[in-house]
Structure 1
Amino acid sequence: MRTFMTPEELAELTGYVRCADQRKWLKKQGWAFEVSRGGRPIVARSYFDARMNRKAVAATSPTHHFDRLHAA
């Protein structure tokens, strides 16, 4: 398994092919990344997995409506 996301995966994640646009998107979304000597953003696969898993868990977590509880 690769340690870093591929350029194709970064393009899919960000919606951009150009490195400058990818960096801008990653920065705006608060993603941690490094920049290669050639200017390509580098995202660790483990960071991607952890971040996406956190979003998936948050999206499936039940929403509690404590304000709807009535005193017995």
Structure 2
Amino acid sequence: MFMTAKEVADLTGYLKPSAQIKWLEAERYGYAVGGDGHPKVLRDVVISRLGGIQSKKGPHLRLA
């Protein structure tokens, strides 16, 4: 469902949540900020953006 904190850091190239959020916004990735202040990114969104095949299992969130 959501990427791990390490995966978000690998994607953005930043460890600090505020820098990750800045990068995600610049690259137009959807995210939500958790109670811990870290961005939460859906794994399927990233896979889709990078040209991969999305999983067909379970419900999917549609982003407008």
Shorter-chain TM-score above 0.5: yes
Structure-2-length-normalised TM-score: 0.76
More helix by share: 1
1:4-49 residue CA offsets vs partner (Å, 9 max, x unmatched): 1011111111000000000000001111111101211000011111
Task: Give the number of equivalent residue pairs.
Answer: 52
What 5-or-longer segments of structure 1 have no aligned partner?
55-72
What 5-or-longer segments of structure 2 have no aligned partner?
53-64
> What residue is the counterpart of 1:30 in the other structure?
28
Aligned mates of 1:35, 1:26 — CA distance in 2: 11
Structure-1-length-normalised TM-score: 0.68
> What residue is the counterpart of 1:41 in the other structure?
39
